[in-house]
């Protein structure tokens, strides 16, 4: 028996047959509400199920992210798929295996303890009995609530073993793997002409000019301020969509101040303020104090392919295929937008090219659904243009983070404050956000009250705002800026990226003040043994030694965090060369994620986070002009290129079977940005506090040096 409490996901999806079924001879159908967004979750879920059920992975038929077929697990986000969803699936499979062994013992009139399972076959003393899962399942009712009464296996064959990703071959070899590749007979292609702002209203449409540009047959659909271009020939639709913004006039548009692209404008804005922790103390005369501020611009998701979706409204039922991160929240949002009962909507996940947070996937799905309901019986495929993705997806909010510390005689903080200014980090459907199409249709819903993800779920702007270091007193002061120039939402890491950058820069500067090595200083204020082990491990990987004097043009830096202070521990060391710009030469990364299902997949996630962290540190920042987002292509929104990618070495630390799994997908981004920031400061002999650490900012620092 198990003393494991029933996890929340099993409480909200209690029936075992929601997770495990034996509806095909020789196969096991496994359902998970988690979806594949490049993190390898399908491979890991198959390993979990195969391991707990004692069947080969090839027997697993995996249903994922489908409101008709899978449990409601909310969003695939926050590095929670394995930590929570995988463990719920594991307990469900363990219980089903126990029930099947009970049924076998009753049928064979043998003690249950004498029975075992090999690839679904029931063995007695190691010999076949003629019974198997499929012969037993026919008389076993799995429409019962999970109890979590059966402990997961101790001996494992699949969990902890590196396995190749089951989704990669199709993508690598060009098979139709994405929603963009779906083709349905009779399909119409569609593009939407977006409102430049919420509340903007259509003043004029020059339909003749748009039709001339198409050089083919198109239809123009308009309802309220929702304007779409439809056609059988995608080339004609694309040609019309490319010129349409110039031929649609809008009222109700106030120009933006381009200066808002830099984060410090937040400091002058009204905000919703709160303090997490005790009030700040009054400083006594002569108190040693540290204070510094750091900023980050808005960041785009910059997925390699823009968003897309397919929808069909037939016989009063709407079916939507989308690369959404949450099929059930999207269904609820579509039901509200279209005034349909949710039971009349099916949302099915189809993979897309990259995600990293709340991009345009849900909005593209809403576009397709709105059009499909107005064209019954006709499949509608919407594909956003690159300009649409950069211009209208939610972006990660700009942020300012100030850290303050009161220091003791040894130069260590006795009181720590992280003060954060940020826009909202979530506007997903179901968590305070509205779909773009809903805002454009007649009688749009009112704006949702400003809010940020709660600390109970890891926080938004406050994520990793509390350092893991053992300072006696810590607090966060959070200023949520309700009105921002562009729509903002979640992007990989949320507020952790800047907060870790700021905290780790402070740690280096505090170490320098007392003449200590940065690694030695961190270890002196870390109490968590797993945290210390990760820092020590990455230092060994990198051959850490006392740093030479700063300002030589070559630098080394370290960054550390435990993601959300509840997921994976991660430490990164970066070597850089700085001339007119920063070149990252080598990255070392060590992480402790507890029980790791697929080491290959975990290392893949760490490496991907490192490379994305390099891009955030050196390249990325959304540009604004009076009309809105102006960085709408790869020239105006640069990302790290293949030629910029350094050698990356990643290792897992302390992965043991008796530890629970910790989310790893977002663990390496913040420490990577921090390590690069510290390495650049060492190389220049001057601290750059504003992201990205671009050529212009490096040159400015050199001129001031």
- What are the residues whose beta carbons fall under 8 Å from the beta carbon of 540, sequence distance 6 or more? none
Task: Please give the Cα distance from 170 to 188 (Å, whole number).
Answer: 26
Say what the pLDDT of residue 660 is: 87
Which residue spans within 103-225 are E strands per DSSP?
115-118, 121-124, 127-132, 188-193, 201-205, 219-223
**Strand-pair partners of 429:** 433
Task: Please give the Cα distance from 458 to 567 (Å, whole number).
Answer: 10
Question: Which string of DSSP letters, residue by residue, matches 331-348?
Answer: HHHHHHHHT--GGGEEEE
Return the higher-pLDDT residue of 82 and 534: 534
- Is the separation of the CB atoms in 571 and 551 below 8 Å? no
Question: Which whole-number Å values give the CA distances from 369 to 85, 93, 381, 616, in the listed order?
Answer: 28, 36, 9, 34
- Is the separation of the CB atoms in 544 and 590 below 8 Å? no
- What are the residues whose beta carbons fall under 8 Å from the beta carbon of 502, sequence distance 6 or more? 292, 293, 294, 401, 402, 403, 418
Please state the rounded mean pLDDT for residues 359-387.
97
Domains in the chain (CATH in brackets) are 8-159 (3.30.365.10), 179-252+302-392 (3.30.365.10), 399-425+460-704 (3.30.365.10)
Question: Which whole-number Å values give the CA distances from 432 to 138, 343, 426, in the listed order?
Answer: 45, 22, 7
Say what the pLDDT of residue 314 is: 97
251 band by pLDDT with thresholds 50, 70 and 90: very high
pLDDT single digits (tens) 210-249: 999 999 999 999 999 999 999 999 999 999 999 999 999 9
4 band by pLDDT with thresholds 50, 70 and 90: low
SS3 286: coil
Find the range with the poorest average confidence among 160-174, 400-414, 635-649, 655-669.
655-669
Task: Please give the Cα distance from 659 to 400 (Å, whole number).
Answer: 36
Please state the rounded mean pLDDT for residues 35-63.
94
Whether the per-residue pLDDT at 477 is higher than 90: the answer is: yes
Please state the rounded mean pLDDT for residues 542-571.
96
Q: At what angle do helices 599-618 and 669-684 cross, to 10 degrees?
A: 40
pLDDT single digits (tens) 6-18: 889 999 999 999 9
- Is the separation of the CB atoms in 450 and 272 below 8 Å? yes
Return the higher-pLDDT residue of 157 and 280: 280
- Is the separation of the CB atoms in 168 and 43 below 8 Å? no
State the chain's mean pLDDT as an integer: 94
1 band by pLDDT with thresholds 50, 70 and 90: very low
pLDDT single digits (tens) 63-111: 999 999 999 998 988 888 888 898 999 999 999 999 999 999 999 999 9
Question: Which string of DSSP letters, residue by residue, matches 65-103?
Answer: SBTTTS-----S-TT-IIIIIIHHHHHHHHHHHHHHHHH
Task: Please give the Cα distance from 120 to 401 (Å, whole number).
Answer: 55
Element (H, E) at 401: strand 399-407
- Pair of tokens at residue 440: 């454009």
Give me the long-range contacts of 335-343 (CB less than 8 A, separation at least 24): 336/438, 336/445, 337/366, 337/369, 337/370, 337/435, 337/437, 337/438, 337/441, 338/369, 338/370, 338/373, 340/373
- What are the residues whose beta carbons fall under 8 Å from the beta carbon of 703, sequence distance 6 or more? none
SS3 635: coil
H helical segments located in 54-206: 87-108, 133-137, 168-172
- What are the residues whose beta carbons fall under 8 Å from the beta carbon of 318, sequence distance 6 or more? 311, 312, 334, 338, 340, 344, 345, 346, 369, 372, 373
Task: Please give the Cα distance from 679 to 684 (Å, whole number).
Answer: 9
Q: Determine phi and psi for 179, rounding to 5 degrees.
A: -60, -30
pLDDT single digits (tens) 662-685: 989 999 999 999 999 999 999 999
Task: Please give the Cα distance from 54 to 137 (Å, whole number).
Answer: 15
Residue located via tokens 């700063």? 550
527 band by pLDDT with thresholds 50, 70 and 90: very high
Cis omega (within 30 of 0) for bond into 592? no
Whether the per-residue pLDDT at 333 is higher than 50: the answer is: yes
Task: Please give the Cα distance from 3 to 675 (Å, whole number).
Answer: 41
Element (H, E) at 418: strand 413-422
Return the higher-pLDDT residue of 700 and 121: 121
Say what the pLDDT of residue 705 is: 62
SS3 668: coil
Question: Which string of DSSP letters, residue by residue, matches 595-617?
Answer: S-S-HHHHHHHHHHHHHHHHHHH
């Amino acid at each position: 028996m198990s003393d494991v409490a029933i996890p929340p996901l099993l409480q909200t999806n209690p029936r075992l047959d929601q997770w495990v079924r034996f509806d095909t001879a020789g196969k096991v159908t496994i359902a998970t509400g988690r979806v594949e967004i490049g993190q390898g979750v399908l491979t890991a879920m198959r390993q979990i199920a195969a391991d707990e059920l004692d069947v080969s992975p090839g027997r697993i038929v995996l249903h994922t992210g489908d409101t008709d077929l899978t449990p409601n697990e909310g969003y695939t986000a926050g590095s929670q798929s394995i930590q929570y969803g995988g463990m719920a699936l594991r307990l469900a499979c363990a219980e089903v295996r126990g029930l099947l062994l009970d049924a076998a013992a009753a049928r064979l009139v043998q003690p249950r303890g004498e029975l075992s399972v090999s690839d679904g076959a029931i063995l007695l003393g190691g010999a076949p009995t003629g019974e198997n899962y499929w012969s037993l399942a026919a008389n076993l009712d799995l429409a019962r609530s999970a109890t979590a009464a059966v402990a997961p296996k101790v001996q494992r064959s699949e969990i902890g073993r590196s396995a190749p990703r089951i989704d990669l071959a199709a993508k690598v070899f060009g098979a139709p793997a994405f929603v963009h590749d779906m083709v349905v007979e009779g399909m119409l292609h569609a593009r939407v002409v977006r409102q430049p702002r919420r509340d903007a209203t259509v003043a004029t449409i020059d339909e003749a000019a748009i039709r001339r540009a198409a050089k083919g047959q198109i239809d123009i659909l308009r309802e309220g301020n929702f304007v779409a271009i439809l056609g059988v020939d995608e080339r004609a639709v694309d040609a019309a969509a490319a010129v349409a913004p110039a031929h649609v006039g809008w009222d109700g548009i106030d120009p933006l101040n381009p200066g808002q692209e830099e984060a410090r404008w937040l400091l002058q804005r009204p905000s919703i303020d709160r303090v997490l922790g005790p009030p700040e103390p009054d400083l006594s005369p002569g108190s040693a104090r540290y204070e510094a501020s750091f900023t980050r611009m808005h960041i785009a998701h910059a997925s390699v392919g823009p968003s897309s979706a397919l929808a069909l409204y037939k016989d009063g039922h709407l079916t939507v295929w989308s690369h959404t991160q949450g099929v059930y929240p999207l269904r609820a949002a579509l039901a509200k937008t279209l005034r349909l009962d949710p039971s009349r909507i099916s949302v099915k996940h189809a993979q897309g090219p990259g995600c990293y947070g709340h991009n345009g996937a849900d909005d593209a799905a809403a576009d397709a659904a709105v059009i499909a309901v107005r064209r019954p019986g006709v499949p509608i495929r919407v594909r956003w243009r690159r300009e649409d993705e950069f211009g209208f997806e939610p972006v990660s909010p700009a942020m300012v983070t100030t850290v303050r510390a009161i220091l003791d005689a040894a130069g260590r903080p006795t009181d720590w404050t992280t003060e954060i200014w940020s826009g909202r980090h979530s506007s997903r459907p179901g968590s305070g956000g509205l779909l773009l199409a809903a805002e454009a249709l007649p009688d749009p819903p009112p704006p949702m009250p400003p809010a940020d993800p709660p600390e109970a779920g890891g926080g938004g702007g406050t994520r990793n705002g509390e350092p893991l270091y053992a300072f006696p007193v810590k607090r966060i002061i959070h200023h949520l800026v309700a009105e921002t120039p562009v729509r903002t939402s979640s992007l990989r890491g949320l507020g952790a990226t800047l907060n870790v950058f700021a905290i780790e820069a402070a740690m280096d500067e505090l170490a320098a003040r007392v003449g200590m090595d940065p690694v030695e200083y961190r270890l002196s204020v870390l109490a968590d043994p797993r945290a210390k082990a990760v820092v020590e491990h990455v230092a060994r990987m990198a051959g850490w030694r006392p740093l030479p004097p700063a300002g030589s043009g070559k630098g080394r830096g370290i960054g550390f965090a435990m993601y959300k202070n509840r997921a994976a521990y991660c430490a990164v060391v970066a070597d850089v060369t700085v001339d007119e710009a920063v070149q990252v030469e080598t990255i070392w990364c060590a992480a402790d994620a507890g029980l790791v299902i697929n080491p290959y997949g975990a290392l893949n996630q760490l490496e991907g986070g490192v490379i994305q962290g390099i891009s955030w540190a050196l390249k990325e920042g959304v540009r604004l002009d009076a009309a809105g987002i102006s960085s709408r292509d790869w020239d105006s929104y640069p990302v790290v290129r293949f030629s910029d990618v350094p050698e990356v070495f990643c290792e897992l630390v302390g992965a043991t079977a008796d530890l629970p799994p910790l989310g790893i997908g977002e663990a390496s981004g913040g420490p990577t940005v921090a390590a690069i920031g510290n390495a650049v400061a060492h190389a220049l002999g001057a601290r750059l506090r504003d992201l990205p650490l671009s050529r212009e900012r490096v040159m400015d620092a050199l001129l001031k040096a």
